[in-house]
Amino acid sequence: MQAVISAAFPVFGLIFLGYVCARRAWLGDSALDALNRFVVYLALPAVLFQSMAQITWAELVNPGFLGAFGGGMAATFALSLLLDRTVRARLTDASIEGMGAAYPNAGFMGLPLCLVAFGPASVPAVVVAMLLTATVLFAISIAIIETDLQATPNWRRTAGFVARALIRNPLVVSPFVGMAVAAAGFALPAPVLHFTTLLGGAASPCALVAIGMFLAQSAGAAKAPRIASTVGRLVGLKLVFQPAITAFLAFRVFDLPAIWAHSALLLSALPIGTGPFMLAQLYGREAAVASRAILISTVLSVVTVSLLIGWFSR
């Protein structure tokens, strides 16, 4: 219980604080957008750049982790796509919902939680998980959507759109810049290191408060029967199916060190991130399903993630 309180309470406490701030309107109507932009464009990129600039390629590349975490994510996305296509005809909506079922909140919630639970040694695993979700899963979802929306699929146009979307994402660019610095053999000068440390230190608390504020705004989403059924399926796949598959791969199939295996399981068990909601808004699709699934999965993860942390402590 002490381990659960020490690791989980600060994380969920900050989320709850953000929720209260939004409900009480303490920070104003534009606070969520400003805070979210600060985290995405400044604070988290600083953390990712600094982390990648200070580790070696051998520390970052772990085929077993790629197989365990990536395999769990791929299996969840595929199963959601299959289940959705049995009842709905539009592949665009199925792709967005499949992304929701397999998209863990690795950046906003995974990084602070892993730092508290496992320490700085878990950062490489978090970065790999973020890259898999923000590049591979995001790109696959966009490619499916673009293909579905075009009367005559144009793979060159689709590939160009996906590439531009990834290049403009600072959470994708910053770790690659850091890896380039590390590959070149450059050590970060002390002023740069202090700058990124100071800026990156704001990433975790601001990200968690932003999650809470987003959940407060999502609490009023529609509750139609079809939406409730879809949300239940997505939450079940995200909080139960994906961590179960990842655990099997991490502990039974691949010979992973404990820090990588535990990080893979914890990251896969995180609630749904904001990526599916952003994608739904980008393509003008129904965002109520995504926002409701994020809300419910985050609330339920207070229990599921706490149980995992308690199991890790044993």
Per-residue pLDDT of 26-68, as tens digits, reads 888 788 888 888 887 888 888 878 877 877 776 667 889 999 9
Residues in CB range of 171: below 8 A, 6 or more apart? 40, 44, 45, 48, 107, 130, 134
pLDDT for the residue numbered 76: 96
Whether the per-residue pLDDT at 140 is higher than 90: the answer is no
Higher pLDDT, 198 or 44: 198
The answer to whether 241 and 102 are in contact (CB under 8 A) is: no
| Single-letter amino acid, residue 56 | T
Residue 275 CA, distance from chain mean position = 8
**CATH number assigned to the domain comprising residue 237:** 1.20.1530.20
pLDDT digits (tens, 9 = 90+) for 298-307: 888 888 888 8
Higher pLDDT, 287 or 30: 30
Half-sphere CA count of 178, side-chain side, radius 13 A: 26
Whether the per-residue pLDDT at 163 is higher than 80: the answer is no
Least confident of 113-127, 171-185, 208-222, 287-301: 208-222
Q: For all residues of the chain together, what is the average pLDDT?
A: 82
Report the distance separating Cα 117 and Cα 99, nearest Å.
26
Report the distance separating Cα 129 and Cα 242, nearest Å.
14
Mean pLDDT of 285-305: 82
pLDDT for the residue numbered 214: 79
| Single-letter amino acid, residue 181 | V
The answer to whether 37 and 202 are in contact (CB under 8 A) is: no
Does residue 104 sit in helix, strand or coil?
Answer: strand
pLDDT for the residue numbered 5: 65
Report the distance separating Cα 87 and Cα 285, nearest Å.
17
Closest CA to 35 of 202, 275, 270: 202
- Provide the 10 A C-beta neighbour count for residue 8: 22
pLDDT for the residue numbered 37: 83
Alpha helices in 25-110 (DSSP H): 31-38, 44-53, 57-60, 63-85, 91-102
Residue 180 CA, distance from chain mean position = 23
Higher pLDDT, 257 or 278: 257
pLDDT for the residue numbered 260: 93
pLDDT for the residue numbered 89: 55
Q: State the residue range of the domain holding 48.
A: 1-313
Whether the per-residue pLDDT at 25 is higher than 90: the answer is no
Mean pLDDT of 129-144: 82
How many domains would you assign to the chain?
1
pLDDT for the residue numbered 22: 87
